[in-house]
Every structure is written in C-alpha cells, then in structure tokens.
C-alpha cells in the first residue's frame, strides 16, 4: 500500500470508484474515461508500480484471469476483447500502480496507436 497512490486509495475505498469485482487479491473498477463501451481496470491490491517492478508471476497472471472472468460476465467474451498493460512513458502509463485494461464492446483497431 502506498499512501499517495490513486489506485491504493481506491482499493482502500478512500476515493469512490465503480467497483465491479473484488476478492482478497484484486479489485476491478470501471475506467473514469472509458475508451470502449466496456473499459475496466484490474489491479492487484498489493502496490506494484509497474510491470518493471513485478516479481510475482501468480499475481500478474491473475490479472488476466480476472479480466477473462469479467469479459464473460459483461458479455464480450465471445465477440472478443483486449487486455493490455501500459508500462512507462512510451506506452503512456499515467498511474504507477500496475493495472490491466480490459476493453471490449466494439471492434478494436490494430495496431494500437
């Protein structure tokens, strides 16, 4: 837990968020600036700044499994969806608590910008 981290504050319920999933290790909530009809962020409760600092394969792998579960629940699993993690400047990471984006509900262009 980091005192000044936005996502740690959401995890601690100090800042409101539209939480769609929570268990002992993860929280998932709707992105405040959605880029697709479905845009959810999946975060580990443990504060890890970015993929560069990650060491726990299970913790990072679990992000994808939570997203797949949510994709099914939100009705985009069959049509398709995208999961991605932005890391550092060139990818446009803005919040330094690792998070996996789950995007769906429309055709997603490739390659991304």
Binding positions for Zn ion, rule: CB under 5 A? 2, 5, 7-8, 47, 97
Confirm if 71 and 34 have CB atoms less than 8 A apart.
Answer: no
Q: 4 vs 78, which CB is nearer to ligand AMP?
A: 4
The whole-angstrom separation of Cα 4 and Cα 101 is: 21
Check binding of 50 to ligand AMP (CB under 6 A): no
Residue with tokens 């690792």: 98
Map residue 56 onto helix, strand or coil.
coil
Residue with tokens 């990650």: 54
Check binding of 32 to ligand AMP (CB under 6 A): yes
Residue 41: closest CA among 12, 19, 13: 19
Q: Is 99 a catalytic residue?
A: yes
Q: 2 vs 65, which CB is nearer to Zn ion?
A: 2
What binding mask, one character per residue, do residues 65-94 give for ligand AMP by CB under 6 A, x or -? ---------------------x-----xxx
Q: How far is the CB of 87 from ligand AMP (least distance, A)?
A: 8
The whole-angstrom separation of Cα 93 and Cα 88 is: 5
Q: Residue 33 binds which entry of Zn ion, ligand AMP, none, with Cβ cut-offs from 5 to 8 Å by kind? A: ligand AMP
């Amino acid at each position: 837990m980091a005192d000044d981290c936005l996502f740690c504050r959401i995890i601690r319920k100090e800042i409101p968020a539209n939480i769609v999933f929570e268990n002992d290790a993860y929280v998932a909530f709707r992105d405040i600036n959605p880029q697709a009809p479905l845009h959810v962020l999946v975060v580990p409760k443990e504060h890890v700044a970015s993929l560069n600092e990650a060491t726990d394969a299970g913790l990072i792998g679990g992000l994808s499994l939570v997203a797949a579960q949510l994709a099914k629940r939100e009705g985009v699993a069959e049509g398709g969806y995208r999961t991605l993690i932005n890391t550092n400047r060139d990818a446009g990471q803005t919040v330094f608590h690792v998070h996996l984006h789950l995007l769906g509900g429309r055709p997603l262009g490739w390659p991304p910008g």
